[in-house]
Amino acid sequence: METSIVIAGFGGQGALFAGQLLAYAAMQQDKEVTWLPSYGPEMRGGTAHCTVVIGDEPIASPLVRQPDCVVALNLPSADKYEPRVKPGGLFLVNSSLVTRPLTRQDVTATLIPANELAEKAGDLRVANLVMLGALIALSGVLPLGAVDAALESWLPERHRALLEPNRRALHEGALYVLTLVNSHEHT
């Protein structure tokens, strides 16, 4: 089985870090994995996205036309990737920054107030981990504990003060979507 994931946002929102963390967690789970980053005109403030492919068998190509899952951290990313999600796939959107209605009826689209949940977790900068926790909970691509463990091993030293807020954010995102699923309120 193979799962393709695109995580997209403005540079500085942590889209690339979230994808790297997912890739590291997959490697630690002995999965096959590719991580392909892409930067816009500027790193911070421009657009950034990455594609992560996780599989049980060797992966033929890191390039993906129709990802199984998309995490959109901002409006330009939602606009760009909503049409590209594979029918039946997951489309997770940061509703703190994307206020327009989602139009796809053939995907599981979920609005997540990532900025508010990140603040609840202790730091607005961890909204990317809120979204990653939601992705893990809904996709089942990896155990949440594997991503938590990867966070401990791979968080750069300069960001160690954000370890606990990142952990809380990961769990806040997972809890939020699981509560939605259990209450049948997701869009």
Please answer whether residues 131 and 173 qualify as being in contact, where contact means their C-beta atoms are separated by less than 8 angstroms: yes
Six-digit token pair at 86?
């594979």
Among the listed residues 10, 40, 5, 4, the one whose alpha carbon sits nearest the alpha carbon of residue 115: 10
Contact 94, 114 (CB under 8 A): yes
CA atoms within 13 A on the CB side of 29: 22
CATH architecture under which domain 2-183 falls: 3-Layer(aba) Sandwich (3.40)
Neighbours of 113 (CB within 10 A): 16
d(CA 5, CA 112): 17
Ramachandran angles phi, psi of 141, nearest 5°: -65, -30
Q: Which residues of the chain have pLDDT under 50?
A: 186-187
Residue-wise pLDDT tens digits, 39-72: 766 555 667 999 999 999 999 999 999 999 999 9
What pTM did the predictor assign? 0.94
**Taking the chain, what is the end-to-end CA distance rounded to the nearest angstrom?**
27
